[in-house]
Amino acid sequence: MSTAPILSAVPPGGGVPRHVAIIMDGNGRWAKRRLLPRFAGHKAGVDAVRRVTRAARALGIEALTLYAFSSENWRRPEEEVSDLMGLLRIFIRSDLDEMVRENVRLRIIGDYRRFAPDLVAMVDDAVARTAGNTGPVLVIALNYGSQAELVAAARRLAERAKAGEIDPAAIDSAAIERELDTADLPPLDLVIRTSGEQRLSNFLLWQAAYAELLFVDTLWPDFDGEALAEAVRAFAGRQRRYGGL
């Protein structure tokens, strides 16, 4: 993949977000418009993941978080859930060597241990093999839900307070952030959602408090490096006030 067009889209003087999160939406509609089964849309979506993760590296994005499987996705038909798990296996097998070679560190957020034991083992192995990498971080949200993440963080803090380890009065936003799945990642700068939907769908609710939100009509399988570069340009053109003037 040539990175020249992508890099040329970076605004002069910087403006590249450190941490970008993407709600990858529209695989099913992409397939339906082509009279294809939903699996074909999900497969095309994996190809988009590959393009976008490479483009993120070319753009200099430090952390890219992808909403791959939400805690609500279990409500989908069993066959579709099985297809998604199979594609995750394929992605790990086909792309892990590249992540190791390109110095990418894989990070998982969410309760992925609910998955089949062989898939959990594959994920654990992938995380372990990239743990020593010092380059950009690829964060995959698997069986993730932001409300559950916040409840778990609150419960851990309550248990520590009950045990006398911390003073409840000392619990502040920083204490909560340290308990989140995203602890030690750069602050979230930009959230992109594809397919024209305009909601966060229980994704990084705390982390997105001051993130820029960008909703695009492009269906996820059609999203590519140039689309990501355009999102970076849009981000660079916004003025972030954080509640100030």
Say if residue 26 carries a ligand binding annotation.
yes
Query: How would you classify residue 86: left for phi > 0, otherwise alpha for psi between -120 and 50, otherwise beta?
Result: alpha
Q: Specify the DSSP element, H or E, that contains 58.
A: helix 38-59
Cβ within 8 Å of residue 8, ≥6 positions away: none
- List 47, 73, 118, 181, catalytic entry: 73
* 202 belongs to the catalytic site: no
Tokens for 111, please give them: 């309760």
- In angstroms, rounded to a whole number, what is the distance separating the alpha carbons of residues 152 and 60? 32
Please tell me the distance from the alpha carbon of residue 145 to that of residue 112, in angstroms, as a whole number. 11
**Ligand-binding site membership of 28 (annotated):** yes
> Is 19 assigned a ligand-binding role in the annotation?
no
Phi–psi pair at 240, nearest 5 degrees = -95, 115
Establish whether 71 is an annotated binding residue.
yes
Q: Is 204 part of any known ligand binding site?
A: no
**CA neighbours within 13 Å on the CB side: how many for 6?**
22
SS3 of 107, please? strand
The reply, when asked if residue 201 is annotated as ligand binding, is yes
89 is in an annotated binding site: no
Q: Is 233 annotated as a binding residue?
A: no
Task: Scan for tokens 């074909």, then name that residue.
Answer: 40
Active site residue 25: yes
Catalytic one among 25, 83, 95, 189? 25
119 assigned ligand-binding residue: no
- Is residue 206 part of an annotated ligand binding site? no
**Binding-site residues, please?**
25-30, 38, 42, 70-72, 74, 76, 193, 199-201, 212
Q: Which residues are annotated as a binding site for Mg(2+)?
A: 25, 212
Annotated binding site for substrate: 26-30, 38, 42, 70-72, 74, 76, 193, 199-201
Give the active site residues.
Answer: 25, 73
